[in-house]
Amino acid sequence: MPIHADIVVLPGDGIGTEIVAATLPVLEAVARRHGHTFAFHQHDIGGVAIDRHGVPLPESTLEAARKADAVLLGAVGGPKWSDPNAKVRPEQGLLAIRKGLGLFANLRPTKPHPAALGASPIKSHLLEGVDILVVRELTGGIYFGDKTRSETDATDLCRYTVAEIERVVRSAARLARQRRGHLTSVDKANVLETSRLWRDVTNRIMREEFPEVTVEHQLVDSMAMHLLSKPRAYDVIVTENMFGDILTDEASMLAGSLGLLASASLGDGKVGIYEPIHGSAPDIAGKGIANPYATILSGALLLRHSLGLEAEAASIEAAVSAALDAKVFTADLAAPGQAVSTTQAAQAVIDRLP
């Protein structure tokens, strides 16, 4: 059945404007083929919002996102706003919009494409058959805890509640049940009290609600090693905020390029934020060479999780895969002299849509 969807578009900073601009025609092409109508509403976030509004997340942006069916985001940040001691920073906009929309689970799939295996620093034979989904908790932990700073010391409080752990573990377990039935929970329970609570709650949820899903526990330091040495051993990985932030960037090395990895930030409702996992890449901004595939694949996740359009999402993923099979590579993947532009890569996806 054809649908109408209102999508808030947040290009952000750096290459964010370029990769989002390349993705919208792909979504429009899918809409035309299936009789849907997508209305795109552009707003500011990040550094550009600081420059224009004095804050990284204007109230108008948050209100528009709350009313929308989904949010497509590019990237935020850049050298202009990179002072870590600044009171107002672009990244605060991301934290605020996730909190404002009640998003608590960040999904980051990693499934290396055969054509891109050579671009990864990991040996190809370790990457064949890898299909991992990391679920990172987004609202708790050390990023949101009370902070202090004096001339002689500083503190960051790491805090988790039972409810925060329960809801993200349930989300991860449901996904594991739909996949290969294996959940790996990552913590630091040998040292941290928050991790011991995390492990206890995870065991209870899995025992009482998901007995058919196999669960294992890994300490975050050993997980960092196993993720590169035996990535095929993992299906769904669930972990707390900071550990997830670090491990998902590490997992990006499995795919060969940050430009291939999408993400979805979800809550209890249908509205989610969909974005590539990479940053604003100011060193290549404005050159038209950024890889749009991660943003396009984030658009596929948007169709799947917020709009319930599974066939349409799968068609985008198939088209990206076909473009990679044809070695339509941007500069991050291509051999010297063989790279295509951002817009050419996006057009290659549109040309291969069923």
Residue with tokens 């409810």: 163
DSSP string computed for 50-117: HHHHSSSS-HHHHHHHHHSSEEEEEE---GGG--TT-SS-HHHHHHHHHHHTT--EEEEEE---GGGG
Nearest to 289 by CA among 17, 15, 26: 15
Please identify which of the residues 99, 131, 143, 156 carries the catalytic annotation: 143
Q: Of 51, 221, 268, 283, which residue is the catalytic one? A: 221
Under DSSP, the state recorded for 258 is G
Q: Is 268 exposed, middle or buried (0-12, 13-18, 19+ CB in 10 A)?
A: exposed
Nearest-angstrom CA–CA distance, 6 and 34: 16
Is 249 annotated in the active site?
Answer: yes
User: Among 40, 88, 43, which Cα is nearest to 62's?
Assistant: 43
Q: Based on the residue annotation, tell me whether 351 is a catalytic residue of this protein.
A: no
221 is catalytic: yes
230 is catalytic: no
- What 3-state class would DSSP assign to 290? coil
Contact between 276 and 298 (Cβ < 8 Å): yes
131 is catalytic: no
Instruction: Single out the catalytic residue among 44, 69, 188, 235.
Output: 188
Contact 279, 313 (CB under 8 A): no
**Cβ–Cβ under 8 Å, residues 232 and 129:** yes
For residue 204, give every residue at least 6 positions away whose Cβ sits within 8 Å of its Cβ, in sequence order, or none.
none
Spot the catalytic one: 6, 131, 156, 249.
Answer: 249
The packing angle between helices 293-305 and 342-351, to 10°, is 50
Active site residues: 143, 188, 221, 245, 249
